[in-house]
Structure formats: structure tokens, C-alpha cells
Structure 1
Amino acid sequence: MAIRVLLGFRVSEEEMNHLFEAFQQFIENIFSLPLDLPFSGYRRGICARDSLEKGLEKAIREKIQSNQGKDYADALDILIESSKENSRELSMQELKDATIELIFAAFATTASASTSLIMQLLKHPVVLEKLHEELRSNGILHNGCLCEGSLSLEIILSLKYLDCVIKEVLRLFTPVSGGYRTALQTFELEGFQIPKGWSVLYSIRDTHDTAPVFKDGDTFDPDRFGQDRSEDKDGRFHYLPFGGGVRTCLGKQLAKLFLKTLAIELASTSSFELATRTFPRVTTVPVVHPIDGLKVKFFGLDSNQNEIVTETEAMLGTTV
């Protein structure tokens, strides 16, 4: 979906599957030890990257050739045109790198945050019930049903508790643990000199874990972002799930809107329960995700909020 919508690629189903498999293999081995040995994770990652770049280059060249007369622009179009406006046309390698980054941002991080949201709603039924109450009080949920035509961007943005829930999910389970920046000039930090040109890694996860503004930081507590406490307002860079500064994530508003819409759908149209005895262990590499996925049973609800039981219960596993 990201390949077609964000990048405007017109590829066959077979090519799409090939790109997806190569991307998955690349992501799974992106943090492997740099040991270039047969059957090592590093070697698998390199091979997957080469295969992915080969497929992307073909798709990019076809896209550039077929763009004439198109009456809309996708993310890759905007990137290409922006570089031309600044008198610096991107090389094919830069286009491939940007494409991989866009796919990663649109797929892996959103899937990670969505899975974390579902897991926390499973672990904290009181939070889910408070979401129900907010939906009812705002006329979105009536007699157990999602009111037709009740959702709009304005209404979604007005749901304060929902906003707190999404913020808390992103605080505790930030999909990406950090990022790199390049020092534009030599500076000193706590007695250490960082030379100009050095790459600096900042940790989002450690920042959230150690920020003194968050009381009982290990506890899932959406109310910390409520009007009475507003713990994220004390300080500029204590809360930064999408990074910070001029290079903050461009898609952060879309990502939050997606998560809010998902939460509304989950709270209003279904009930769900863990399909395993215990919650899975969570790993943080390359993004936050449950090992072997999060297996959940979903049940549709009728107008009285009763579960719609079918002859065969489908067990759905969300994986990232």
C-alpha cells in the first residue's frame, strides 16, 4: 500500500511481493553484527538490500517515464520536484535511499505503534472503558453503535482522552529508539567535546525513560497528559516520539490520526481478547514489536454491544 500510495509505483502483484520480502529481510537484519560470512545476518541483509534497490530502481525509472500528464503528486514526486527547485537533482542512489526511508516510515513504524496500542488496551481495560465513555459523551457511540457520519477530523481532534492514550503509547513504546544527526559545529556537552562533522546518536527511548517530568515513568498512565497534569509541557525535549527540531517526522500528524482512528474503531465496533495465555515478549530492534507477533481474537459487536459469534472464530495475528 505504501509503495502504491506514497510512491506512486505501478508494479505487478508478483513484483510487489518480491519487494516486500526483500524489505522484510533487509529490516530484520539491519542491526546485525558486521561479519560478512556465509549465512550471517549481515550477509542476508546486504543481499536483501541489493535485491530491494534493484527492484526500486526499476520502479523509479518506470515512474519517471510515465509521470507526464499526471494530475496529482505523491511523496516521491514532491521530493524530486523539491530537489529540482533547489537546483540539486537527486541521484538514483539518493532516490533509492529516500524511497526505502519512506517505506520504512509508512509501514514498520505505524505497524509497531498500532500493535502497541492494541496490547495496552488489552492490558488496561479501564482505559478502554474510559475511551468508550468519551465516545458516548461526544455522540460518536450511541446504543453501542458507531453513529453514521459522526466522525470528522474536527471531532477526532477534540477527543482529549483519546489524545492522551495515543501520547502515552508513543511515550512508552516509541517505534524508533532514536536517530542520528550531524554536528554542524564543534560543541561541548557535559565536559565532552563533539567535533564538527561527527555523527551524534540521540536516544528517544532513554529520554522518555529518564525524563524527570514523567512521574512513575514505567507505568502506563494516559492521564499524565491530561489538562490537570500535562507532564509533557514541562521542558522542550522530554517528549519526542517523532524526533524534534526542524527535522521532526513529517508524517507525525498523519500517524497520530491513523492511531486515533484505529482506537475509535477498536473501541466502538469490536471486542477483542488475547489469543495466547500470556502476553508476548517485546523487542525493540529494529522497531518495537512483540516477538512472534501479537495474537488477538476479534469479535464484531451488534447494536447492543453483544459479540457476534460465528461458526468459525478467526484468530488474527498482528505482526510487525
Structure 2
Amino acid sequence: MLFEGLELVSALATLAACLVSVTLLLAVSQQLWQLRWAATRDKSCKLPIPKGSMGFPLIGETGHWLLQVFSKIFSHEALESYLPKIQLVIQDTLRAWSSHPEAINVYQEAQKLTFRMAIRVLLGFSIPEEDLGHLFEVYQQFVENVFSLPVDLPFSGYRRGIRARQILQKGLEKAIREKLQCTQGKDYSDALDILIESSKEHGKEMTMQELKDGTLELIFAAYATTASASTSLIMQLLKHPAVLEKLREELRAQGILHSGGCPCEGTLRLDTLSGLHYLDCVIKEVMRLFTPVSGGYRTVLQTFELDGFQIPKGWSVMYSIRDTHDTAPVFKDVNVFDPDRFGQARSEDKDGRFHYLPFGGGVRTCLGKHLAKLFLKVLAVELASTSRFELATRTFPRITLVPVLHPVDGLSVKFFGLDSNQNKILPETEAMLSATV
């Protein structure tokens, strides 16, 4: 009986320790997300910080007018106007990757690509390339220290992050002022244009500080997760050449690729991308198996019961996107990369509401999800139609989940230029070495 009593006490102690650990994890997670958003803004900024949301930080309980603003920023018309610019940025990037004599670090380069897309397309800034490179380095230093403990000591991560934010905001203010002074010759309204004009329409003209904070938050929202998904896309196309070839077949069938292989002339359109059903399946499967963010938290609005446990109103709860995708009964062979699971014949994602939620769910689903999917689709089309690439290491790297999902070594890949028949164009040295005499 004594041993049984001791075992019971030990079990209760273990259970109590687990409950404390979970409670602390919930509290720390929520505080980290609040710190993350607080770090992007100046203390004088009056824009609301969200409660219980991983979505855009500009959207808070008191910022309903901003919901209307962001509905314009990510509307069908806005995405149609962004599309040619996104395609140009991706094409320029892939040409640069192909001209590089050595293998590139895909994750690092994808971060540069998404940063450039946010600056050039989403915000419409005309920043010289050299200054853009410097701004990216400062931004990386800022991001690396976002989750630092808020201890303001010399050489601390918090101090480095604050210093990087100040440099960033100085550069962004210069870009904003130049943008406001130069309104001629624009052929589309970018996200910052829409934000400024819509705020005026609602009688809430934004101060320069709020514009800087809003700009930084837009970059933040479009940066890390999109770079993660882009890297996962490239890795899966490398791992599954049959998927890449099937994607090329669809592009040929839709007139985006000639039968010989070279891309057809002209820019993409939203209706063209919407008709690429297998491409949509590929993107969905990448986001199912390699969701950039593991989950989020929400505030309980009404007491409810789950599996016999009562969850009180006001509590903070965490939900796991990855665990949901791994355990959802609608998905078969969950660890297998299989885009056809989303095809019309199977449509595994159509059963139930919350089995597939790479962008979150409910009213606080990611507002930028359509822009993110558009970016990934254009990247996939350009990779399939204009690029040849191969893994530069013997094996694929393992994946880490912190702070977002990415390969531990960044994924080393060699890209090649293509001739009109989609054959590799070797660098001059390689061509000479491989020539027969």
C-alpha cells in the first residue's frame, strides 16, 4: 500500500508538472507574439495590436476600418495589378540564380526575394539596388532579434533589434517621402497607396510614424512565411521530378509552354493561373506538408467543452496547424507528398471545415493568403518553364521548425540558364572542360 501511495503521489506530481509546463508554454507563447508585434512599431503608434491572432498586426478589435482597407489590398483587382510586377521580380531573381557560378543557399535567397517583392511590388518603393541590399541586411538583424527578451542592456539582442528598427524606419521614411512626392507615371495602386487613400476616406489620416510602422509590419507579414514556403516548394520539385514534369505538361496544355519546351511570350493573368488545377494541387500539398507556421493562439469568447474538458471564457488556447494536418482523417498517407490528393478525383480537403488550415481558420484567417498563394504559383510556373536546377549536396537537409519551417543548411541548389529548347547553358569554363577534342 505504501508503494502504491508513493506511485500515486508521483503520478499526481508529474501531472501537476505537466499542467504547469503547458500553462507556462501558453503564457510565454502569447507574450512572445505580443512582443513580436510590439517590436515592429514605435511606442507612439496608435494602431491596435491584435488579441488572440497571428494575422496582420494592424487588425485589432478597434480597427474595423482596417479590415476594409486590407480587403482592398488583397482584392482580385489588386492582385491582378500586382501580378506582372511579381512575375518580373521572380524572373529577374531566377536569372540571377542561374548566372551564379556556384550553388546558392535557397532559403537565404528566398528571403531576399520575398523582401524585394514586398519593397518593389507591395509598397512600390523605388530604392536603388545597392541601398535595397543594405536595407535587407538591417532587416535581417531586426528579424533575428524580434524574439529577444525585452531587457535593454548594451550588446543585448533587444538593443540590437531596436537599433536595427531605428535604421529601418529611417530608410523607410525616406522611401515614403519620395513616394508621396512622386505620384506621376504609376500604372497601378500598391498596398501602401491603398492604405493611405482608404485611411483618408475613413477620416483617419495616418501620421508618418504610423505609416512607417504599418510599412514595416506589411514587410514582416510577407517575409518569413513566404520565404519558407518558397524553399519548401523548390525542395519538393527537386525531390519529385515526376511532379515537376506533370506541371510542365499542364503548362504546355494551357499554352504557357511551347511543345518544344520554351516559354510562350506574354505575362501571366489571374484567370490563366486559376485554370492551372494541378499547379493549385501542388501549392496546396506544399502548404499541407510544410506549413511555415506551426500554429497560433486564440482567446476563448464563450465557455465550451472539448472531449469532456471545460474551456472557460477568457482563456488563451493554442491550436496546432501541423498536428491537425497530420491527424486529420480525411488525408491518406499523410507523410507522402501527393498533390493528386487535392485533385477532383479525390478532393481530400473538401470533407470537413477545419482539416486543412495552412493559413489559420475562422474570421482571423490570414488576410494575405491569396497574395501568398499567387506568389507561390508564379514562382512554380517560372521554375517549371524557365529553370533547370539540381541539388548541390549528396542528401537533402533535415528540416527545423523554428522560428519558421526551413532546411537547416538553407538548401544548396545549383541553377542553370536555359537555351530556347530548355537545355542547360553551362558556364564557359564548364563548357570548355566538357568539350571533346
TM-score by length of 2: 0.62
Aligned sequence identity (%): 73
Structure 2 residue aligned with 1:127: 243
Structure 1 residue aligned with 2:181: 66
Q: Distance in 1 between matches of 2:192 and 2:292?
A: 23
Which of 338, 362, 368 in structure 2 is aligned with 1:221?
A: 338
Secondary structure of residue in 2 paired with 1:146: coil
Structure 1 residue aligned with 2:219: 103
* More helix, by proportion: 2
Q: CA deviation at 1:148?
A: 3.2
Structure 2 residue aligned with 1:316: none
Matched, 1:204 2:321: yes
Q: Distance in 1 between matches of 2:262 and 2:245?
A: 15
Structure 2 residue aligned with 1:112: 228
- Contact (CA 8 Å) 1:141, 1:268: kept in 2 or not? no
Which of 237, 241, 257 in structure 1 is aligned with 2:358?
A: 241
Distance 1:283 1:95, change over 3 A: farther
* More strand, by proportion: 1
Q: Distance in 2 between matches of 1:69 and 1:23?
A: 29
Structure 2 residue aligned with 1:148: 265
Structure 2 residue aligned with 1:260: 377
Amino acid at match of 1:273: E
Structure 1: 5+ residue stretches without partners:
314-320
Q: CA deviation at 1:303?
A: 4.5
Structure 2 residue aligned with 1:166: 283
Worse overlay, 165-174 or 46-55:
46-55
Structure 1 residue aligned with 2:104: none
Which of 45, 49, 68 in structure 1 is aligned with 2:161?
A: 45
State the structure with bigger RCO (CA 8 A, min sep 6), 1 or 2: 2
Q: CA deviation at 1:174?
A: 1.9
Structure 2 residue aligned with 1:137: 253
Q: CA deviation at 1:11?
A: 4.5
Secondary structure of residue in 1 paired with 2:292: coil
- Contact (CA 8 Å) 2:125, 2:179: kept in 1 or not? no
Q: CA deviation at 1:15?
A: 4.8
Matched, 1:28 2:144: yes
Distance 1:275 1:97, change over 3 A: same
Q: Distance in 2 between matches of 1:289 and 1:278?
A: 15
Q: Distance in 2 between matches of 1:284 and 1:235?
A: 27
Q: Distance in 2 between matches of 1:200 and 1:57?
A: 38
Q: Distance in 1 between matches of 2:381 and 2:189?
A: 30
Amino acid at match of 1:269: T
Structure 2 residue aligned with 1:250: 367
Amino acid at match of 2:311: Q
Distance 1:77 1:153, change over 3 A: closer
Secondary structure of residue in 1 paired with 2:428: coil
Structure 2: 5+ residue stretches without partners:
1-115, 431-437
Superposed CA offset, 1:108-129 (max 9, x none): 3322222111100111122122
Matched, 1:278 2:403: no
TM-score by length of 1: 0.81
Q: CA deviation at 1:69?
A: 7.2
Q: CA deviation at 1:195?
A: 3.6
Q: Distance in 2 between matches of 1:164 and 1:239?
A: 13
- Contact (CA 8 Å) 1:28, 1:286: kept in 2 or not? no
Q: CA deviation at 1:302?
A: 3.7
Distance 1:10 1:261, change over 3 A: closer
Worse overlay, 269-278 or 143-152:
143-152
Structure whose CA Rg is larger: 2
